[in-house]
Structure 1
Amino acid sequence: MKINKVIITIFILFSIVSSGYAQSKIEGKFEAGYILFNHINSQKFNNSRLADESYGLNLNAICGLQPSEKAFVGLGLGYLNFDLSNSGIHGITAFSTFEFIPPTYKKTKFYLRSNLGYSQRWSRQSKERGTSILELNLGLKRRMNHKMKLYMHSGVLFTQRSVFIPIRLGVGF
């Protein structure tokens, strides 16, 4: 039942964004990231025990609209893999992303980014578990040529009463 609500919400959001900015530039992004565990409430995180030295890997694909040089609005899908050696927790995420890029005429720009969405995780020890996610990032964007941009950002990821620190690199086109 919750997944149906998430799918309907994402569809409505995408419809509003696409109809409101039909003349905007469409942009795609691919990201790969490393997730450090800052604070884990192990009772809440998928009923699994994660070691203090654990880490996670993340892959994202994002498609969205850039209505101006200062903003980006998009939808993304991601794959998560936490603590590869011990617990085998993996999952998927669906999220909306909002970026604010302060206006400058340089090739390298700072930007603020937020992701809001839903995450579904599975592990060997327990059943699947879904939760909402909120991510706040600060990053650098470097325009390589007219069509390609490189991204690097980091921030905080809040989920299931736990805090993670994602560090991501990406390419936009």
Structure 2
Amino acid sequence: MTERTADPRDPRPLLGEPLALDLLNTRWAGEPVNDLLAEPDGHEIWLATAGLAGRCPADGAGLAALREAREAVAAAVRELDAGGLPGAGALAGLDAVLRHGRVRREASAAGPVDLVEVDEPRWLAAWLVVDDFLGLLAQGPGRIKKCAHEACILHFFDTSQNGRRRWCRMAVCGNRAKAARHYEKARP
């Protein structure tokens, strides 16, 4: 994958998660919920932050495919959040995106090379997202977590050694929860 450096225009509160969760986190808390992909400019910003600018088209067709991938990942993650594994409906959504591409292996002097091929360029980012999500599931579905703060809707991949990370960002959501607990204890 390409080197990832956040686009300075990216307004999202949590960056740097694996590609699938980074796409899922293009929606974040607000009234109404903030959505980076609501406008074409947001699509371009997300592609840049994801390291996919120049590789994937920043057009309406690419945005539609990416939104479809986001919905498929969101459906699967909702079932993980509920304590289960993705069911048939969620898996069908993921498979619908995966049908648009494949990995072709080639031999090279430096060793084997995996090449992603898609039936139309608009599906490349979407396919890469769903492929990344399957990789996260293989590493452990229990590591895909929703932030424990009740007002936060962000998700993260827990890479802590003991798997007990609770907050998308300790400095924000974790501190809010700690401050609320402290306030409750200090109240007469």
| TM-score strictly above 0.5 | no
Shorter-chain TM-score bucket reads under 0.3
Normalised to the residue count of structure 2, the TM-score between the two structures is 0.18
The structure with the greater share of residues assigned to helix is: 2
**Could you say which structure has the larger radius of gyration?**
2
